Amino acid sequence: MRSLSFVKAGMAACLFAAMSFAAADASANLLVNPGFEVGPLVDDGSGVGKWQPFGGAGVALPTLSAQDTVMPLSGTGHLNLQLDNIGASFAGTYQDVGGLSAGQIVTWEGWTKDAGQDAGGAEIRIEWRDSVGNTEISRTGNLVPTLTAGVYTPWSLVDAVPAGADTARVVYAIQSFGAGPNQIHYVDDTSVTVVPEPASMALLGLGALAMIRRR
């Protein structure tokens, strides 16, 4: 029987290994064109490997631009979402991130600069989809970030992949159903990161502990 301190050291090593694994895994940004540097956005109905723009009737589809020398947050471009005095409508974009499994924790985050006259119309969400059946399983509620006018502000949405879903459709939209009709949002430096489900993390730690005890 090994000493208690040895076991404790082993457990600490396991925890460290599990945390390191999670940190390394979570660092990979799964989005394509996350900083909106490559354009224009193509409206072909697909969000696989690209940003798919969408909008209500009469609304200009989102574009990529560099409207202000202070912006974008990084690089030479950012997403440009505008509702130009159009009430009861919407504009946005989405991208599909596939290859996920139930229980994984997904974080969808980025930065927004509110450059319009009206605030409070953002809708940030994840629509969980089954890519085989091409159906939506469920969706998160809408995150409505509190933005500071004229300043890039970070936002973050975290949720677990539900059973039956393998794809996260990450959506950023603005709408004038519940907010004013003059909205301009510049969005930049977005990311989607994934950490293993807690069960896998626990198994990883137990496996490492068993190996140490066996020595």
Nearer to Ca ion, 63 or 89 (CB): 63
Touching Ca ion, residues 76-135 (CB under 5 A): 78
Tell me the H-state helices in the chain. 4-26, 198-214
The nearest distance, CB 77 to Ca ion, in angstroms, is 5
Nearer to Ca ion, 77 or 196 (CB): 77
Does the protein bind Ca ion through residue 35 (CB under 5 A)?
Answer: yes
Q: Are the beta carbons of 129 and 169 closer than 8 angstroms?
A: yes
Nearer to Ca ion, 64 or 122 (CB): 64
Nearer to Ca ion, 109 or 188 (CB): 188
Instruction: Give the binding range for Ca ion (CB under 5 A) out of 33-41, 131-139, 195-203, 206-214.
Output: 33-41
Does the protein bind Ca ion through residue 205 (CB under 5 A)?
Answer: no
Instruction: Give the binding range for Ca ion (CB under 5 A) out of 4-12, 17-25, 133-141, 184-192.
Output: 184-192
| Tokens coding 168 | 């996260």
The contact mask relative to Ca ion for 136-175 (x = CB under 5 A, - = no) is ----------------------------------------
Does the protein bind Ca ion through residue 34 (CB under 5 A)?
Answer: no
CA-to-CA distance for 164 and 133, rounded, in angstroms? Answer: 10
> What is the residue type of 201?
M
CA-to-CA distance for 83 and 162, rounded, in angstroms? Answer: 33
Instruction: Give the binding range for Ca ion (CB under 5 A) out of 29-37, 86-94, 99-107, 140-148.
Output: 29-37
Touching Ca ion, residues 38-77 (CB under 5 A): 72, 74-75
Q: Are the beta carbons of 106 and 192 closer than 8 angstroms?
A: yes
Q: Are the beta carbons of 100 and 197 closer than 8 angstroms?
A: no
In 3D, which of 111, 145, 105 has the Cα closest to residue 125? 145
Strand segments, DSSP code E, in 73-145 are: 78-84, 90-97, 105-114, 122-130, 135-139
The nearest distance, CB 74 to Ca ion, in angstroms, is 5
Tell me the H-state helices in 34-162. none
CA-to-CA distance for 26 and 18, rounded, in angstroms? Answer: 12
- Which residues here bind Ca ion, judged by CB under 5 A? 35, 72, 74-75, 78, 188
